């Protein structure tokens, strides 16, 4: 996800600044107050990283261009970004950036069930999170770059590689949400695989979820029929695609409903 590289012998000295995924990954030093007490309800803090902002980055406070190609300048939260001089004006609670409707904050993943899987709680801000399934083998392994890009834009814990465990783990994580959306990135076989798993689900929210398709590679007849196009090969367009998904509602996503027998 972060593209960090290090020798095996140097890895222990590497700075731990990878994107948070769960409450445990945030660290007690950030969550606890001066007396070492954790609040009952944890707000999502910013995860600051200095410099290396995209060329087109704009400050979240003043909306002016920030960052520099000459040196490490200004700050970016791995979920949003801001000028060094504007940083103090920003609320301590992170708004989660432009994809906030789709993101599960790490603070929502705070417990493990009896089978050893993470359980997601439902914070008020998380009204319709997006579950992403990517077939990393699709499009001559083009799915790998989409998998990496989605993990950069969202919480890595809500992005799943279908080639590594199938759809079950993702659907299990999301089963406690009243409403959520699914985006399948791959060909017709990937979409059919996810739909089959949904049909066997026993949870009402899974049966009622909305599903969209981002076609990768060839053999995308289903995506064309549903109006999603024939293929997508530009991962730089994913922020705009996520924004459109958040605005589309039911008209832009296939709605699953299992008829009573």
pLDDT tens digit sequence for 126-165:
778 899 999 998 877 788 999 999 998 999 999 999 999 8
Residue ranges of domains in the chain, CATH in brackets: 106-255 (3.40.50.10330)
pLDDT tens digit sequence for 156-210:
999 999 999 899 989 988 887 888 899 999 988 999 999 999 888 777 667 778 8
Task: Label residue 37 by pLDDT band (50, 70, 90).
Answer: very low
pLDDT score for 258:
43
Q: How far apart are CA 184 and CA 255, in angstroms?
A: 14
- Could you give the strand order of the β-sheet that contains 254-255, starting from the edge strand earlier in sequence? 159-161, 130-134, 181-186, 210-215, 254-255
Q: How far apart are CA 50 and CA 256, in angstroms?
A: 43
């Amino acid at each position: 996800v972060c593209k960090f590289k290090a020798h095996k012998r140097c890895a222990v000295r590497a700075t731990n600044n990878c994107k948070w995924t769960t409450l445990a990954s945030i660290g007690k030093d950030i969550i606890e107050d001066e007396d070492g007490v954790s609040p009952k309800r944890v707000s999502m803090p910013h995860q600051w990283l200095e410099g290396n902002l995209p060329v087109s980055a704009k400050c979240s406070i003043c909306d002016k261009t920030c960052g520099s190609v000459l040196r490490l300048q200004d700050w970016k939260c791995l979920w949003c970004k801001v000028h060094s001089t504007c940083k103090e004006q920003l609320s301590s609670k992170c708004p989660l950036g432009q994809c906030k409707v789709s993101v599960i904050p790490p603070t929502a993943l705070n417990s493990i069930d009896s089978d050893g899987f993470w359980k997601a709680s439902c914070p008020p801000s998380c009204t319709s999170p997006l579950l992403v399934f990517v077939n990393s083998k699709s499009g001559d392994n083009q799915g790998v770059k989409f998998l990496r890009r989605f993990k950069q834009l969202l919480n890595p814990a809500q992005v799943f590689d279908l080639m590594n465990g199938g759809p079950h783990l993702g659907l299990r994580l999301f089963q406690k949400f009243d409403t959520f959306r699914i985006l399948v990135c791959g060909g017709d076989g990937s979409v059919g695989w996810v739909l089959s798993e949904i049909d066997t689900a026993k949870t009402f929210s899974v049966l009622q979820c909305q599903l969209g398709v981002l076609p990768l590679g060839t053999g995308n007849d289903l995506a064309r029929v549903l109006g999603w196009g024939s293929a997508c090969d530009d991962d730089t367009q994913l922020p705009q695609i996520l924004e459109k998904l958040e605005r589309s509602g039911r008209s832009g996503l296939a709605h699953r409903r299992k008829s009573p027998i």
